[in-house]
Amino acid sequence: MIKLISKCNDFMKDCGFTYAFCGGYALELFLNKKLRPHSDIDTTVFEEDRIDSIKYVLNKGWNVYEHKSDWIDNKIANNYLRRILNPFDEKNTELKYVWAIKPDCSFFKIEPKSGGENIYNYEILNGEQLNFDFFEIIFNKQKDGYFVFDSFTAQGKNITRELDKAILYNDEGIPYLAPEVKLLIISHAAYLASDYHREKNRIDFDSTAPFLPDESRKWLINALETAYPNGHERLEQLKELY
């Protein structure tokens, strides 16, 4: 954990805008211990810094891609990448996330897709990321000093967290998304039902929930009750713990 996160933090620390580690690594930074293998490094950046973050990665000599999917009959038929060459391209304004990939990345095999400009097929070569040559940047919202949860996570409700509580720092000054924020995100039904996410999210929740500070636990319970007024299995689990 320390090797990859430290290298990514060194890469990002002079960017000039707010960023934080999210995903499973955020929980490991909170607990200061390894929980499980990780398939990638996730970071969060606020939407107003979308252009600056893309420009920053490009200026570092890395490539930036939009991950795209074709849908047929409500099913994903094809996944591919659009390479972002210009951070000011209007196509970038609605991006929810991008992939930052170092040239000759050991994690991916990337080849041009026939019939498309700056379009690429890709293959993931490893189940666990072992080298710092790829990370994902997820764009989130903030307003008036609060981290604002998107409609997907908040189930259309108004759920926020003070920025100084939503983004924390470990002893080395590495920023990470607070555990209660991450646990709310992974409590969405789509993650609970996903074969890809289910087991690792169970490990994350079960390993982290017992160590939440009292204020964080109360906030998470309130957020879950707001998002899921008809009840939620994680809400019951939290109440049993305490």
Consecutive H or E run containing 87? none
- Write down the number of H helices and E strands in the chain: 10, 12
Q: What is the pLDDT of residues 23-33, one digit of tens each?
A: 899 999 999 99
3-state helix, strand, coil in the chain (%, to 5): 40, 25, 35
Phi then psi for 75, rounded to 5 degrees?
A: -130, 145
Per-residue pLDDT of the chain (242 residues; tens, 9 = 90+): 578 999 999 999 999 999 999 989 999 999 999 999 998 999 999 999 999 999 999 999 999 999 998 766 666 668 999 999 999 999 999 999 999 999 999 999 999 988 778 899 999 998 899 999 999 999 999 999 999 999 999 999 999 999 999 999 999 999 999 999 999 999 998 888 888 888 999 999 999 999 999 999 999 999 999 999 999 999 988 988 87
The pTM score is: 0.93
pLDDT at 70: 77
